[in-house]
Amino acid sequence: MDIIIWLFVALSLTWFMSYVRASLSSYTLSFAALMVLGSFFNIIGIVSWLLFAVIALPFNIDSIRQQFISMPLLALFKKIMPQMSSTEQEAIDAGTTWFDADLFRGDPDWKKLHNYPRPRLSTQEQAFLDGPVEQVCAMVNDWHTTHVIADLSPEVWQFLKDNKFFAMIIKKRYGGLEFSAYAQSRVLQKLTGVSSVLASTVGVPNSLGPGELLQEYGTKEQQDHYLPRLASGEEIPCFALTSPEAGSDAGAIPDYGIICHGQFEGKDVLGMKLTWDKRYITLAPISTVLGLAFKLQDPEQLLSEKQDLGITCALIPTNLDGITIGRRHFPLNVPFQNGPTQGDEVFVPLDFIIGGAEMAGQGWRMLVECLSVGRAITLPSNSAGGIKAVALATGAYSRIRRQFKMPIGKMEGIEEPLSRIGANAYLMDAVTTMSTGAIDLGEKPSVISAIAKYHLTEKMRSSIIDAMDIHGGKGICMGPNNYLARGYQGAPIAVTVEGANILTRSMIIYGQGAIRCHPYVLAELEAANNSDNEQALSDFDHALFGHIGFSISNIGRSFWCSITGSHFLSSPFNDETQRYYQLLTRFSANLAMLSDIAMLSLGADLKRKERISARLGDVLSQLYLASATLKRYNDEGRKTTDLPLVQWAVEDCLYNCQHAIDELISNFPNKVIGKLLRVIIFPLGTWLSKPNDETSHRVAQLLQTPCATRTRLGHGQYLTRDGNNLFGRLEQTLEDIINCEPIFDKICSALNEKLPFYHLDKLAETALSKHIISKAEAELLVTAEKGRQWVIAVDDFDNSELTIEDS
């Protein structure tokens, strides 16, 4: 009996020490103490002590452990370690990790999450949003832009330049606005609600492009020359990386430069002859300066001994001989300036390399570092802003449009997609705020930016499809009064650019996350690559044993969470959100465990098993999306009226986590391991379900009823009530319709009739003449009817207006 109790205590101790991630020495000491206790009660004898010594000593004496355990394992690790290309290595090295690392490591510190400061706008940034941004929104007519002139009007272009819209990232000392990432995001959110062409045009020069590259890596001369000109709009930049042969595999660009002597502006200089064929380049057709990525070669070794210097970025004025520029692509009826460019043996001095000749070959690193930041701002903000506007508009439309004698928004079938749009809008805004907040804290969050880019552009696409379905024919018939169709048409653009989404999900999110966020893998890889054998062994030994303890702990934690339903996990709040924190911690522990087991069992194959890494990335992503949502709820003062949005969004993330893990386990290449994993993670089966009908109903109601929560949901969007602003007009009509419903009911009961809710203007006339309503009430009915008619109307055209004449 005593021995059974002792074994039980020993097992509990082992589990507890692994749960709290105790060090090897602490574990050995506490186990030794237990052995002493066992000896005292005559349970532990000499044989047990000998066994303990045989196991514990080699592990605890550095020289023995390194010689007999770590050294052979290091040799094996070198053999199975995935080979990394230099571009992959540079992508891994670029950027930083942030709360994503906590989520990856199995035990997120929720207090730390809530202690990150909430980003705020400066007075100048707020004034810019209230001033020039509102003004330009009023100037742009999206139908005219997309259908009539296929561009922004010359007045809008001039306004953008004059007001430094292209200089949000440029430092004040060069004449720029030097806005925070959060402010840039808010500007883009507002612009995109009005016109995708407007938002893309402003977004690109402020994102990855010459401005950012110059500020980060340019020489003083380059910065002094170009940055003031970019800030004033005198120069229009673009960035040309993609070529017909190299899209996603951008590191394989065939464009090249050869170092040689040549004549430039009448002088003999050391330079490079550049040849390129690029496509899809935003702003290229009207650009004056081209940020060009190419592979630099030095066959005559004029610069150094290296002949292949690698990817290099240079600034090329577009007016040089040999450059072809000006033609346009036509991206999905959202005609922002985008097109191809070619260069044929264009000779420029080496000074044109961004950062000068010493930055030759550093182009890939420069690009991925800038992408870590830019990818978290432009496309996620455009997606979030678009869906915030769409959420309000679709809520309003659902309340105004009636069929079967009731607002369509009251029908359960409509509530379902409407709730998805509302909760996504809440979550997407939360993610842009948290991610740009991280950038403003000095991070270059490469994993987070990939998560934000992928999930927000996907949610934008699915939400706009939901909105189209809810609008029926109103969404489909195009014209100046259609506020959805261009967004719907253009949704795949955001999905494709800055790392096409399938690639981002399959390779980038988990691929970078696993190495950057894991506490030990990067150290192990670095040790394996270290040519100093002694240092390599010591570093590897340290990382390996940390890793083993970490893995055991995650298995223990995962099983404990499963069998206890995670009810004993701590949460920073004891309210409706408590379970969410507990379940997120649980899935975080599952991710840490699954990740180690996938790496250990698949080794280098994991890189090719994209569907495994995509699902691991899904878990990490959903944890991040839910964390951002909970942080938003807390930062905004935990207003319980917002809870339906939080509940829907977080429950959806949790369900998606469960689904990703379930699929991963079912498809785990080694079926035995897959079965064991199921026992540890889902011993009682999968149990989470999607947000329920009641939560969906409450979200749908919020979207259709003017209230503080709805106002917060659309915060920052362009909603002025002037007649040209379609979204503002919808908002006004929603209020008018809701205000006139009691008047309508009064008339129905006075006339003792259940009247149809239309011809409100005629009804007003009748009711006024019968003294049922006041003059003010009659006026409201007339105004509401005018708005209602506008909301349900669609545009029509003369045949000649739809026909393009042969030119």
- CB closer to ligand FAD, 382 vs 658: 382
- Spatial contact of 527 and 415, defined as CB atoms under 8 Å apart: no
Which residues inside 601-620 make contact with ligand FAD, applying CB under 6 A?
610
- CB closer to ligand FAD, 454 vs 757: 454
Q: Least Å distance between CB 290 and ligand FAD?
A: 10
Q: Least Å distance between CB 508 and ligand FAD?
A: 9
- CB closer to ligand FAD, 251 vs 445: 251
- DSSP 8-state class, residue 67: I
Strand, helix or coil for residue 287: coil
Q: Which residue among the candidates 498, 651, 731, 777 is catalytic per the annotation?
A: 498
SS3 content of the chain, % helix, strand, coil (to 5): 65, 10, 25
Q: What is the DSSP string of 626-638?
A: HHHHHHHHHHTT-
Q: Please count the other Cβ atoms lying within 10 Å of the Cβ belonging to residue 697.
A: 17
Selected from 125, 142, 498, 596, the binder of ligand FAD by CB under 6 A is 498
Q: How many residues are recorded in the chain?
A: 807
Is position 443 annotated as part of the catalytic site? no
Taking CB atoms, the residue at the shortest distance from ligand FAD is 247
Amino acid at site 486: R
Crossing angle for the helix pair 412-440 and 363-400, to the nearest 10 degrees: 150
Q: Least Å distance between CB 361 and ligand FAD?
A: 19
What are φ and ψ of residue 576, in 5° steps?
Answer: -60, -20
Residue 241 touches ligand FAD, criterion: CB under 6 A: yes
Q: Least Å distance between CB 521 and ligand FAD?
A: 21
* H/E run at residue 355: none
Nearest to 415 by CA among 431, 404, 429, 399: 399
Nearest to 728 by CA among 791, 638, 651: 791
Residue 493 touches ligand FAD, criterion: CB under 6 A: yes
Residue 378 touches ligand FAD, criterion: CB under 6 A: no
What is the size of the binding site for ligand FAD (CB under 6 A)? 23
Largest separation between any pair of C-alpha atoms in the chain: 108
Residue 497 touches ligand FAD, criterion: CB under 6 A: yes
Query: What are the residues whose beta carbons fall under 8 Å from the beta carbon of 477, sequence distance 6 or more?
Result: 794, 795, 796
- CB closer to ligand FAD, 290 vs 428: 290
Nearest to 396 by CA among 404, 386, 388: 388
**For 753, what's the count of Cα atoms within 13 Å in the CB-facing half-sphere?**
8
Query: For the CA atoms of 136, 142, 146, 151, what is the dihedral angle to 10 degrees?
Result: -10
Q: Least Å distance between CB 668 and ligand FAD?
A: 20
Place of tokens 């049922």: 772
Q: Least Å distance between CB 331 and ligand FAD?
A: 4
Residue 454 touches ligand FAD, criterion: CB under 6 A: no
- CB closer to ligand FAD, 240 vs 439: 240
- CB closer to ligand FAD, 128 vs 294: 294
Nearest to 705 by CA among 732, 728, 735: 735
Selected from 280, 488, 520, 550, the binder of ligand FAD by CB under 6 A is 280
Question: CA 499 to CA 375: how far, in whole Å?
Answer: 9
- CB closer to ligand FAD, 288 vs 496: 496
- CB closer to ligand FAD, 340 vs 385: 340
Which region among 233-241, 269-277, 573-581, 678-686 touches ligand FAD (by CB under 6 A)?
Answer: 233-241
Residue 240 touches ligand FAD, criterion: CB under 6 A: yes
Q: Least Å distance between CB 698 and ligand FAD?
A: 37
Q: Least Å distance between CB 213 and ligand FAD?
A: 13
Which region among 182-190, 237-245, 730-738, 762-770 touches ligand FAD (by CB under 6 A)?
Answer: 237-245
Strand locations in 250-335 (E): 256-264, 267-282, 289-297, 308-317, 323-325
Selected from 331, 355, 644, 787, the binder of ligand FAD by CB under 6 A is 331
Question: CA 580 to CA 634: how far, in whole Å?
Answer: 13
Residue 282 touches ligand FAD, criterion: CB under 6 A: yes
Residue 503 touches ligand FAD, criterion: CB under 6 A: yes
Place of tokens 């991925």: 368
How deeply is 315 buried, as exposed, middle or buried, from its count of CB atoms within 10 A (0-12, 13-18, 19+)? buried
Which region among 275-283, 694-702, 713-721, 793-801 touches ligand FAD (by CB under 6 A)?
Answer: 275-283
Residue 496 touches ligand FAD, criterion: CB under 6 A: yes
- CB closer to ligand FAD, 353 vs 414: 353
Q: Partners of 238 in the beta sheet?
A: 290
Selected from 260, 502, 521, 688, the binder of ligand FAD by CB under 6 A is 502
Which residues inside 394-423 make contact with ligand FAD, applying CB under 6 A?
none
Which residues contact ligand FAD by CB under 6 A?
238-242, 247-248, 280-282, 331, 338, 493, 496-500, 502-503, 506-507, 610
Q: Give the catalytic positions in this structure.
A: 498
